[in-house]
């Protein structure tokens, strides 16, 4: 198998094994799309220059195409008013003959109890931007209501649909990371199975000075850690991460412990 094909397959498998961030409509009454995570051989070409969100959309498109009871009507539809883009509909499909407008989201969030007052408000992006609560508000107040805009209604006529006939659902997958010092956090609204690792600062990472490290590129953040990579010793790793600290960027890292156990962590600059 060609190396690029192997990389795509590993990423696709990682995507499939990532859990949805909540079950049913437990969060903000946003209904999660249900589909079985059936692993299959990927036979699609994906431009490596795509940003991660768009890259994931290609995986979702492939996954949907494997389903017998499902038909993709259209994808990545830009809704415009005059020459201004109002927004984009990720996908309109029919599942068991029911039209669904599906928004696709894949995120990495870190739990910080000092931010906000609720479980949802505590989850922020690795660089302290892009908070979960902001994304949920954007979905609820901007992305999903777009379907009912005058401009979108005009588009829907071209595919013989009306907004009121269409169910709105989200396919929101996420990897969650908890603090190194408090790894026994129990979630109530969000899916506990989304917790895949912890995050550490410069001082805490010293606990792993006898371990080996690997820093995957961003496309490989979705990959399940495996041993077949070029591992770094702690000293090399520390030197390499200085650049990330200076840039105020928190990289995702893999750790291989002395007993062979593999961990997935974020090394934060804050």
- 148 plus 245 within the same structural domain: no
Total domains present in the chain: 2
- 188 plus 235 within the same structural domain: no
Give me the pLDDT at residue 67, please: 93
- 60 plus 152 within the same structural domain: yes
Give the pairing type, strands 123-124 and 232-233: unpaired
- 65 plus 166 within the same structural domain: yes
pLDDT one-digit tens code per residue, 19-41: 999 999 999 999 999 999 888 89
Per-residue tokens: 54: 């768009």
Per-residue tokens: 108: 């990495």
Give me the pLDDT at residue 11, please: 97
- Each residue's pLDDT tens digit in the chain (270 positions)? 577 889 999 999 999 999 999 999 999 999 999 999 888 899 888 998 999 999 999 999 999 999 999 999 999 999 999 889 999 999 999 999 999 999 999 999 999 999 999 999 999 999 999 999 999 999 999 999 999 999 999 999 999 999 999 999 999 999 999 999 999 999 999 999 999 999 999 999 999 999 999 999 999 999 999 999 999 999 999 999 999 999 999 999 999 999 999 999 999 999
- 37 plus 82 within the same structural domain: yes
Give the side-chain half-sphere CA count within 13 A for 268.
20
- 248 plus 126 within the same structural domain: no
Q: At what angle do helices 52-65 and 3-17 cross, to 10 degrees?
A: 80
The stretches of 139-255 forming alpha helices (DSSP H) are 150-158, 234-247
Distances (CA, A) of 8 to 24, 26, 202, 220: 29, 32, 32, 9
- 152 plus 172 within the same structural domain: yes
Bridge partners (DSSP) listed for residue 214: 254
Rounded Cα distance, 181 and 199, in Å: 9
Decide which of 196, 215, 238 is a domain's last residue.
196
- 252 plus 173 within the same structural domain: no
Q: Which of 61, 55, 29 is nearest to 139 (CA)?
A: 29
Rounded Cα distance, 220 and 243, in Å: 20
pLDDT one-digit tens code per residue, 146-161: 999 999 999 999 999 9
Rounded Cα distance, 247 and 241, in Å: 10
* Cβ neighbours of residue 108 closer than 8 Å, sequence gap 6 or more: 125, 126, 174, 175, 177, 221, 252, 266
- 152 plus 259 within the same structural domain: no
- 136 plus 176 within the same structural domain: yes
Decide which of 196, 213, 243 is a domain's last residue.
196
Domain, as residue range, for 254: 200-267
Decide which of 196, 226, 253 is a domain's last residue.
196
- Residue 268, class by beta-carbon neighbours within 10 Å (0-12 exposed, 13-18 middle, 19+ buried)? buried
Q: What phi, psi does 250 have (nearest 5°)?
A: -100, 105
Q: For 191, which DSSP code? A: -
Q: What phi, psi does 221 have (nearest 5°)?
A: -60, -30
- 91 plus 148 within the same structural domain: yes
Q: What phi, psi does 166 have (nearest 5°)?
A: -105, 125
> Given the structure tokens 């917790």, which residue do they identify?
195
- 40 plus 119 within the same structural domain: yes
Rounded Cα distance, 29 and 170, in Å: 11
């Amino acid at each position: 198998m060609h190396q690029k094909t192997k990389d795509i397959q590993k990423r696709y498998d990682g995507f499939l094994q990532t859990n949805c961030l909540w079950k049913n409509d437990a969060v903000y009454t946003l209904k999660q799309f249900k589909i079985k995570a059936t692993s299959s051989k990927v036979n699609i070409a994906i431009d490596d220059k795509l940003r991660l969100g768009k890259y994931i959309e290609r995986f979702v498109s492939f996954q949907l195409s494997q389903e017998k009871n499902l038909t993709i009507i259209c994808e990545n539809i830009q809704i415009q008013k005059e020459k201004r883009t109002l927004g984009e509909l990720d996908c309109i499909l029919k599942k068991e003959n029911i039209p669904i407008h599906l928004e696709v989201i894949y995120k990495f969030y870190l739990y910080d109890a000092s931010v906000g007052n609720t479980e949802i408000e505590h989850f922020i992006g690795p660089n302290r931007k892009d908070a979960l609560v902001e994304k949920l508000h954007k979905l609820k107040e901007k992305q999903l209501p777009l379907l009912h805009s005058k401009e979108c209604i005009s588009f829907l006529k071209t595919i013989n649909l009306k907004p009121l006939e269409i169910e709105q659902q989200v396919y929101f997958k996420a990897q969650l990371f908890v603090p190194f010092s408090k790894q026994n956090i129990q979630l109530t609204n969000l899916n506990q199975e989304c917790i895949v690792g912890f995050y550490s600062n410069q001082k805490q990472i010293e606990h792993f000075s006898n371990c080996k490290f690997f820093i995957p590129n961003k496309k490989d953040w979705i990959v399940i850690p495996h041993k077949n990579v070029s591992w770094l010793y702690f000293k090399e790793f520390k030197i390499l991460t200085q650049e990330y600290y200076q840039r105020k960027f928190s990289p995702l890292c893999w750790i291989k412990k002395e007993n062979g156990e593999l961990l997935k962590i974020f090394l934060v600059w804050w």
